[in-house]
């Protein structure tokens, strides 16, 4: 009875002295948040969060070969190396997928040179304590002479003196993919994705958590690869594994909110196109590696909270309009396929179960999010503290303007904390570079969600877009709401070391457009030199006038004029 008495006494004190107690606020949701991805019969499950399909986080290290044919003649095989007799360097195409670990004496490219934690102006150098998982089913033999990197799992890192709510481990999921056709001597980097997560290792209960690829075949489709993914969340487990294997789940825990990271990569070749990031105050630097012909990429920034949604409804509680849009396939991903799948596929809403995991970008993502926000009271279910970067896919880049698609280099970098955002880099619309974002108006704690956006673009690429010279440029950054009204935002523009950085912060959602317009003053005309005329001396007034004198002889008078007049003989000058 003692605890009950104490509780009653506390309640009585609160009622007697209400002004001395601050009302509790709804806490911000982050740690151990798990979207309801496990399908329940007769339900629809929807999740708006950065997923492994976008971040390239799924899959296991492997080398594959494709013969370039289609239909029943198509071959896609797992290879143990470039010399595997089942795969041919003489034809077709090789593709690798691996994860990067710390550089060492034998692994000097396609690796992590350093990872530094930034906190309150202090830098803490991290170290790799182990790879995870240890067991890889589809490993292959590396060949650095052809830019084929080491086949590896991701890695667990530590930062001396730094911990989080789940311990001291941070998982670095640095994914790299590349390809080489039969005509190319070396592999070229195709894509990169890096996420730094706070994790806690937990035992898996349903299986060992291994992720791997395997070969499948169908008469109509030939031989193709399938995959077993990362250990998923089950109904009775509060797991959100960022990696799994060896009977363990690297379960996501909340990143402390006052952290940032600086990542330095050594790559055998530069990714092409654009990068996208979930980080604040981002900076990007790319320099050549003279000894290998590769590049060093340095990215730094703070963590940002990304508003995420995850919910499940029985079909009977879903408005008819929303239900019909899903059943008719209105919402698709970047490949034009529906964002949904069904576990118990049926026309009976009490049996049918749909699971939708839309990508975070593209027109359909905006429509699908906008469809649900009124029902979700325009409020996030969680605000996940995040640090990640990734290269944009070919499909995202398909509508990009020519200057943004230069090969063999990174042309720009976009970062935002929005739930969904435009596919690809900003679009050139009436002279401005437009980028649309969308998110709930409120965070999970009920506070207003404030947007963050940064655009970093190569100076020469920006000048290419506008046809500018190498003279300095200026810019204007503005934020326009969905209704067309201008929003108040904090903006900045900086050009330094070959990059132009523009940002807009503290704007509100739900679906504003950030507009960036660059300007360059018209070149001043080169002044022409007008020759100075040679002065001509003027004659004095008296130098050209004649003199006149009066000459007298008796009664006769003559006037004689001239420059030096003289009287004629017999005449005298009259004075």
Give pLDDT tens digits for 15-35: 333 333 333 467 999 999 998
Q: What is the pLDDT of residue 485?
A: 87
Q: What is the pLDDT of residues 549-575, one digit of tens each?
A: 767 666 555 667 776 787 877 777 766
Examine residue 37 and state whether it is found in any structural domain, yes or no: no
Whether 565 and 438 map to the same domain: the answer is no
Residue 22 pLDDT: 35
- Cα separation, 338 vs 369, in Å, equals 15
Report the C-alpha gap between 491 and 484 in whole angstroms: 19
Residue 401, exposed/middle/buried by CB under 10 A (0-12, 13-18, 19+)? middle
- Tell which residue, 114, 137, 139, has the closest CA to residue 127: 114
Q: With helix as H, strand as E and coil as C, how does 318-376 read?
A: CCHHHHHHHHCCCCECCCCCECEEECCCCCCCCCCCEEECCCCECHHHHHHHHHHCCCC
* Helix%, strand%, coil% for the chain, nearest 5: 10, 45, 45
What's the whole-number mean pLDDT along residues 254-267? 96
Q: Is the pLDDT of residue 524 over 60?
A: no
Instruction: Tell me the β-bridge partners of 154.
Output: 132
Q: Total structural domains in the chain? A: 2
Whether residues 64 and 110 share a domain: the answer is: yes
Residues 561 and 433 in one domain: no
User: Does some domain include residue 7?
Assistant: no
DSSP state, residue 403: G
One domain, residues 558 and 446: no
Residue partners of 343: CB distance under 8 A and separation at least 6: 39, 41, 353, 355
- Whether residues 76 and 117 share a domain: the answer is yes
Alpha carbon distances (Å) from 414 to 103, 279, 410, 454, 483: 27, 10, 12, 6, 24
User: Does residue 529 fall inside a structural domain?
Assistant: no
Nearest to 263 by CA among 390, 92, 441, 408: 390
The verdict on 455 and 559 lying in the same domain is no
Q: Are residues 208 and 129 located together in one domain of the fold?
A: yes
Is 12 within a domain?
Answer: no
Domain enclosing residue 91, as ranges? 43-519
Among 298-312, 324-338, 350-364, the range with the most confident prediction by mean pLDDT is 298-312
């Amino acid at each position: 009875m003692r605890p009950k008495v104490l509780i009653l006494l506390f309640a009585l004190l609160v009622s007697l002295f209400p002004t001395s107690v601050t009302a509790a606020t709804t806490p911000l949701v982050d740690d151990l948040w798990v979207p309801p991805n496990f399908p329940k019969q007769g339900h629809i499950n929807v999740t708006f969060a950065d997923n492994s399909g976008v971040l390239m986080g799924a899959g296991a290290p492997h080398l594959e070969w494709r013969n370039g044919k289609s239909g029943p003649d198509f071959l896609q095989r797992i290879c143990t190396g470039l010399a595997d007799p089942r795969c041919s360097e003489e034809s077709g195409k090789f593709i690798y997928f691996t994860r990067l670990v710390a550089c060492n004496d034998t692994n000097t490219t396609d690796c992590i040179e350093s990872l530094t934690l930034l906190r309150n102006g202090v830098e803490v150098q991290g170290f790799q304590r182990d790879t995870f998982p240890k067991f890889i089913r589809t490993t292959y033999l590396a060949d650095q002479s052809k830019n084929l990197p080491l086949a590896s799992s991701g890695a667990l890192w530590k930062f001396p003196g730094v911990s989080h709510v789940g311990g001291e481990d941070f998982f670095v999921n640095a994914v790299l993919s590349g390809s080489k056709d039969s005509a190319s001597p070396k592999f070229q980097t195709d894509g990169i994705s890096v996420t730094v997560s706070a994790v806690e290792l937990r035992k898996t209960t349903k299986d060992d958590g291994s992720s791997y690829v395997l070969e499948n075949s169908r008469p109509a489709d030939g031989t193709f690869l399938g995959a077993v993914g990362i250990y998923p969340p089950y109904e009775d487990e509060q797991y959100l594994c960022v990696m799994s294997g060896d009977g363990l789940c690297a379960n996501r825990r909340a990143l402390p909110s006052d952290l940032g990271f600086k990542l330095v990569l050594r790559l055998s070749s530069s990714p092409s196109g654009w990068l996208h990031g979930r980080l604040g105050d981002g900076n990007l630097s790319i320099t050549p590696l003279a000894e290998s012909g590769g590049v060093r990429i340095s990215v730094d920034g703070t963590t940002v909270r990304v508003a995420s949604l995850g919910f499940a409804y029985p079909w009977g509680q879903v408005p008819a309009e929303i239900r019909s849009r899903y059943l008719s396939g209105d919402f698709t991903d970047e490949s034009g396929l529906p964002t949904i799948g069904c576990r118990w596929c049926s026309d009976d809403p009490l049996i049918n179960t749909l699971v939708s995991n839309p990508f975070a970008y593209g027109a359909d993502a905006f429509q699908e999010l906008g469809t649900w926000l009124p029902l979700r009271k325009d409020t996030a279910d969680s605000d996940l503290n995040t640090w990640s970067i990734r290269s944009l896919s070919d499909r995202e880049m398909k509508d990009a303007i020519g200057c943004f698609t230069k090969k063999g280099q990174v042309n720009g970098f976009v970062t935002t904390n929005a739930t969904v955002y435009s596919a690809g880099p900003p679009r050139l619309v009436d002279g401005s570079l437009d980028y649309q974002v969308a998110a709930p108006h409120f965070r999970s704690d009920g506070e207003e969600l404030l947007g963050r956006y940064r655009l970093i673009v190569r100076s020469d690429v920006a000048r290419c877009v506008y046809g500018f010279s190498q003279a300095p440029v200026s810019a204007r950054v503005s934020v326009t709401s969905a209704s067309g009204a201008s929003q108040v935002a904090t903006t900045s523009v900086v050009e330094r070391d070959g990059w132009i950085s523009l940002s807009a912060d503290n704007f509100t959602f739900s679906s504003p457009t950030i507009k960036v317009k660059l300007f360059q003053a018209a070149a001043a005309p080169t002044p022409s030199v007008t020759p100075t005329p040679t002065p001509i001396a003027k004659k004095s007034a008296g130098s050209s006038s004649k003199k006149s004198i009066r000459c007298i002889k008796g009664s006769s008078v003559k006037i004689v004029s001239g420059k030096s007049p003289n009287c004629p003989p017999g005449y005298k000058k009259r004075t």
